[in-house]
Amino acid sequence: MIEEKLSEILKIEEFRIRGFLKRRVISKAGKVGKAELYRLERDAGGYEQGTVIVIGEEPKLIRGYPKIKRVLVLTPTIEKHFHSIPKVGIEEKMNGYNVRICLIEDELVALTRGGLVCPYTTHKAEEVIDRAFFVDNPEMILCAEAVGPENPYVPKDVYDVRSLGFFVFDIMRDNRRVPIKEKLEICDSYGIKTTTFFGFFSKNEAPKEIMKIVKRLGERGREGVVVKDPEMRIEPLKYTSSESNCGDLKYAFRFYNDYGVHFFLSRVVREAFQSFEWGENEEERSKRIERVGKNILEPMIETIERVSRGEKIGERVTLRVRDLNVIHKFQRHLRRLGIDASFGEIKEENGEFVVEMTRYYTSTNDKTKSILEGGTWS
């Protein structure tokens, strides 16, 4: 029985597993080869959301990736959080989506944070990740950020990536993250790209270094940094640039009714604490206030104007694959996620298939249209 197998792998009593299945805490996540995949749709039983359980010839547990807590004020937080160690590592936090790349039933797959196999991401990973890594290290899992302009979830063109690239930020071995130096050495030996590592710093040096690094990254439209324990025993922390916060606001207010209030508020709060800690003068603070306000109102007004003209609000991204079948699999994947998207004409260019995808934000479209027709805000 499935309950028995899940219980054995997760080491959770069968009666609790039955409850998880009934309440869809655990749900089916598809198949890879002959293996059945199940996933946790939320944190439960000591496991993270997105944890994948593989039931096949080689049962496997792939832990979900924990959410990283955020620093608002650097100096006291780093000292308190990393109180038991003398130094911290600082590396770039890239703006894309998290994937776990691993072998299941001898097939390379890319799992999203939610625990589903994404056909498009898997196809792209197969193109750039050396399979020899997994032949030599079948027990390892690459945790990577997928970034680039042909990213169907978070398209960004601030990185030197033509289509969709993968940058490893962690390696998990037996569901434990390996130390930073070991990760860098392993990836280097297989030609696998990693997020930029800026070095190890004492806890006294780290806040000033982070401020300098984040300012430089922000000027290039990049997201920020992750602060880590060199041995990866203490959970990491993240810290983002003002440009990233404002970029998020600009994006989300374009689709204002599809994002929660917490998404907006958290980014405004980050800006306030950063302004305070950086000791900004009146001119610097005024520029920040103008930047935040502009990125809130401007995209929202643009959305209202476009809907008033009868346009449907959406986001366009180009997808490029070598196998046409991947597009059809990806369309089914999006439908399963409940994402409203349309695909244009598929064209062939230099041995690749190229298609433009438009993702629609139904809630914002419907709400804006309703208000323009006399509806009220509740």
Residues paired with 319 in a beta bridge: 355
Place of tokens 């955020």: 70
- Among residues 308, 337, 360, the one where a domain terminates is 308
Question: Which whole-number Å values give the CA distances from 358 to 80, 316, 318, 331, 343, in the listed order?
Answer: 45, 4, 9, 12, 6
CB 138 within 8 A of CB 132: no
Please write the tens of the pLDDT for every residue from 108-133: 999 999 999 999 999 999 999 988 99
Q: pLDDT value at position 157?
A: 87
Q: Shortest CA distance to 355 belongs to which of 338, 369, 372, 334?
A: 334
User: pLDDT, tens digit, for every residue of 56-89?
Assistant: 888 999 999 888 999 999 999 999 999 999 999 9
Per the structure, the complete domain to which residue 288 belongs is given by 243-308
Predicted pLDDT at 66: 86
For the chain, the domain total comes to: 3
Picking from 10, 35, 62, the residue at the C-terminal end of a domain is 62
List all residues 6 or more positions away from 335 whose beta carbon is below 8 Å from its beta carbon: none
pLDDT at residue 162 is higher than 90: no
Domain CATH code at residue 17? 3.10.450.740
DSSP bridge partners of 343:
357
Distances (CA, A) of 118 to 22, 195, 335: 25, 22, 12
Give the global pTM. 0.93
CATH of the domain at 356: 3.30.70.2160
* Percent of the chain's residues with pLDDT above 70: 100
Please tell me the distance from the alpha carbon of residue 10 to that of residue 60, in angstroms, as a whole number. Answer: 10
Residue type, 52: V
Residues 266, 297 share a domain? yes
Q: List, in order, residues 6 or more apart from 43 with CB less than 8 Å away.
A: 49
Burial of 202: CB neighbours in 10 Å, binned 0-12, 13-18, 19+: exposed
What pLDDT is stored for residue 23 in this prediction?
96
Mean of the per-residue pLDDT values of the chain: 95
Looking at the fold, whether 344 and 293 belong to one and the same domain comes out as no
Q: Has residue 128 been placed in a domain? A: no
| Residue 161 contacts residue 320 (beta carbons within 8 Å) | no
Q: Let me know whether 341 and 366 are in one domain.
A: yes
User: Which CATH number do you get for residue 296?
Assistant: 1.20.58.2250
Q: What integer pLDDT is reported at residue 19 of this predicted model? A: 96
Q: Are residues 332 and 368 in the same domain?
A: yes
One domain, residues 285 and 247: yes
Q: Is residue 229 part of a domain?
A: no
- The answer for residues whose C-beta is within 8 angstroms of residue 324's C-beta and 6 or more apart is 346, 353
Q: Of 62, 85, 101, which closes a domain?
A: 62
d(CA 45, CA 42): 10
Q: pLDDT tens-digit profile of 176-224?
A: 999 999 999 999 999 999 999 999 999 999 999 999 999 999 999 999 9
Structural domain includes residue 48:
yes
> Is residue 230 a contact partner of residue 200, using CB atoms and an 8 Å limit?
yes
Query: Average pLDDT for residues 145-164, to the nearest whole number?
Result: 91
**Same-domain pairing of 252 and 301:** yes
